[in-house]
Structure 1
Amino acid sequence: MSPNTSSFAVLAIAVILLLMLIGFIYIWIFIAKKSNLHRALNMRRKKQKQKRSRSSRFMDPLLKAAKYARPTAGKYTFFTNKSQEERLLVIAGSPFGLTHDLFHSLRFVLGLGLLMYSVIYVLLGLPFGLIGMLFLPMLGYFGPLVWLNLKAKERQELISAAMPDFLDTVSVTLSAGVGIDQALHQVTKQFDGPLIEEIEQFNREVDLGVPRKTAYMNLLARNKSKELEMLVNSLIQGQTLGVPVSTTFRLQAEDLRAMRGFKAKEKAAKASPQITLITTFFVAPAVFVLIIGLLFLNVVYNPGAFGLDILFD
């Protein structure tokens, strides 16, 4: 077998695996989003006992290393946008108690750690070492930004999904003659999730004497959920115009349920084209390259079957 043929076979296999990997990653992301949506729509009211997840066990040593390296990491702030990252941390609910300094230190630790790993990989003479040295440090440094964006998006989706049930419960409580502050305090004891965390923060601010309108604006500043923004704007307008709060909550719940139905239909309509697109541009080319590669190898090793003996003499 000639060196050119071996190189072609290795390259073909690498291309096939890469295309199929990309295709399966996109399909997995789609399935994960669908699963998250169903989980959000079926949120249970009973508070579950918090269990130490695998992600927590994975993050604990990284956070310890990040705290240790924080003074050093603070000296190297390239490719960082402090205001944007702080905003993302707030929207994501500060996962694992991350502050901006700690988050930047975490990026620094991951980037440096993967750089050291790639250097050892190259020194051992393993394949694709130079490519790993180029991409692994970038993955370690910029990967946490992608993760933080996904966490922020997921949290806002959970808030939006919990809004209709929350509004219905508050509306019923208000109809019983309970004040808005007492109703919010009671409802937070019955629900769980990111939305309740934000409402509890709002309640704490009001209890500490922060003006209600200021607390509303702070609630908007911490979130990007369109549904929550609609509710807060309606409450501010209702407070100005004297509209009963119970009416505002009831109308908002009806509007959000209708909007959620439209969004579900829209996502269902987009699902089939997305799968078709992934299959067309990733899975199908991988299969095509596989067939062509096998045909080429068959011609090389068995030219007589195709009447091509003269070309390989």
Structure 2
Amino acid sequence: MFDAISLMVTDTLGPDGWIYIAGGTGLMIVLLMLPLVLNKKVEPMDRIARERKGVVLDEDESDAKLSRHGTRNEHLAKYAQYLDPQDEDQASATRTMLIRAGYPHKDAVRTLTAAQFLLGLGLLMLGAVYTLFLTADDVAAHMKLIYTMVPGALGYYAPKYWVQKRVAKRQEEIQDGFPDALDLLLVCVEAGQSLDQSIIRMGTEIEPSYPALAGEFLMVAQEMKAGKDKSEVLRSMADRCDIKDITSFVTVLIQSQSFGTSIADALRVYADEMRDKRVMRAEEKANVLPTKLTVGTMMFCVPPLLIILIGPSLHGISEALSGTSAF
């Protein structure tokens, strides 16, 4: 088969046909990667270093920084009546899920709906083509229906499933970085900074390690600067994160503000509790690990061990039985 392909390439492009193909493939790869190189995002550490040095950002980068949601997609806006959910409760639930996944853009709901429709219709068409042209004629009708509908259903629900996995991953990242953020916040508060300044400093410092958590705290700081009520802003953060530790932290701050108690003392106690909970979660994962390894051990270690130990005995018994039957 390779000789036939090589002969066809040689007859079509000449003796140097494979060189032309390799050069064309390399050129296509370069053209495909060029937009990614030109639109490369600024690394968090470089951006923080430039901001500390007072370097003025480019116009496009400044606009992107000021507009957290970015620009609207005009192509999706044309089909807004088809892409926006008609049920207000469903639209609100989808928007909340996307915000928790880290997609607060105004067109996030439309993008998700468009991805579901396009992927579902695309795989449905592929399933129909496979059923009509590639399956045998004697295949049952219900099997043809399954071959056609199942890819479409998978394509429709795959984007939402991916968003849900993204929500779980982002919540895990926030939960892992929350104890370190509390320790840094406590240090800033005890150093004499106000709560707003401490949140900004803490969010800036932890951004390279925990960008999702830093984004939430920086959003809180910006909303406080805009004049929104502090309790409302903190409750909004707890609703966006949907994590018990964050909700308890918000409750502690609101109660400290309401009763006039020291925020530093409340943060110190809560930070100690969060460190203990992180240790307990690590110990829980360590205790569950042997149970998970048991399945792999039983599947991949025990059968070869039994073959090694019992195999020679079974072979000897079979030879003895065969010799006895010969007599």
Q: Does 1:93 align with 2:111?
A: no
Structure whose alpha-carbon radius of gyration is higher: 2
1:49-68 matches, within 5 Å, as 67=76
Q: For the Cα contact (< 8 Å) 2:84–2:110, is it kept in 1?
A: no
Structure 1 vs Structure 2 CA RMSD: 3.4
Deviation at 1:196, TM superposition (A): 0.8
* Cα separation, partners in 2 of 1:76 and 1:115, compared to 1, 3 Å: farther
Q: Which residue of 1 aligns with 2:275?
A: 257
Change (3 A) 1:262 1:75: closer
Q: Which residue of 2 aligns with 1:184?
A: 199
Task: Report the Cα distance in structure 2 between the residues aligned to 1:267 and 1:160, rounded to whole angstroms.
Answer: 15
Contact 2:76 2:110 (8 Å CA) reproduced = no
Match of 1:232 in 2: 250
Cα deviation for residue 73 of structure 1 reads 4.2
The runs of at least 4 consecutive aligned structure 1 residues that moved more than 6 Å come to 75-78
Distance in 2 between residues matched to 1:220 and 1:206, nearest whole Å: 15
The 5 A counterparts of 1:267-278 are 267-276=285-294
Alpha-carbon offset, residue 76 of structure 1: 8.7
The CA deviation string for residues 93-132 of structure 1, in whole angstroms up to 9 with x for no partner, is 2178752122112111110111111112223314786543
Between the aligned partners of 1:216 and 1:249, the Cα distance in structure 2 is 15
Q: Aligned equivalents of 1:105 and 1:208: distance in 2?
A: 34
| Contact 2:179–2:275, Cα closer than 8 Å, also in 1 | yes
Give, in angstroms, the shift of residue 210 of structure 1: 0.3
**Separation of aligned partners in 2, 1:104 and 1:279:** 44
Amino acid in structure 1 at the alignment position of 2:219: Q
Picking from 236, 251, 266, the partner of 2:284 is 266
Shift of 1:225: 1.4
**Larger relative contact order, structure 1 or 2 (CA cutoff 8 Å, min sep 6):** 1
Give the 3 Å change call, closer, same or farther, for CA 253–69 of structure 1 in structure 2: same
Q: How does 1:196-215 map to 2 (within 5 A)?
A: 196-215=214-233
In 1, distance between residues paired with 2:249 and 2:154? 39
**Structure 1 counterpart of 2:133, from 124, 129, 153:** 124
TM-score of the aligned structures, taking structure 1 as reference length: 0.63
Written as runs of structure 1 = structure 2, the 5 A alignment for 1:2-81 is 47-48=44-45, 67=76, 70-71=79-80, 73-74=82-83, 81=90
Distance in 2, matches of 1:182 and 1:234, equals: 18
Tell me how far 1:144 sits from its aligned partner. Answer: 1.3
- The letter for the 1-side match of 2:149 is L
Q: 1:102 to 1:201 in 2, by over 3 A?
A: same
The match for 2:182 among 142, 145, 167 is: 167
2:90 is aligned with what amino acid? N
Aligned ranges 1:295-306 → 2 under 5 Å? none
- Which amino acid in structure 2 is aligned with residue 104 of structure 1? T
Distance in 2 separating the partners of 1:150 and 1:76: 22
- What is the total number of aligned residue pairs between the two structures? 226
Corresponding residue SS for 2:206: coil
Relative distance call for 1:95 and 1:211 in structure 2 (3 A) is: closer
Once the two structures are superposed, what CA deviation does each residue of 1:171-221 show, in whole Å capped at 9, x if it has no partner?
111111111111111222212111111111111111011011111111112
Match of residue 111 from structure 1: 120
Letter in 1 for 2:154: L
For 1:190, the aligned partner's letter is E
| Counterpart-to-counterpart distance in 2, 1:278 and 1:97 | 46
Q: Secondary structure at the match of 1:124?
A: helix
Conserved? CA contact 2:116–2:157, under 8 Å: yes
Hey, what's the Cα distance between the residues in 2 that align with 1:209 and 1:112? 46
- C-alpha distance in 2, partners of 1:264/1:278? 22
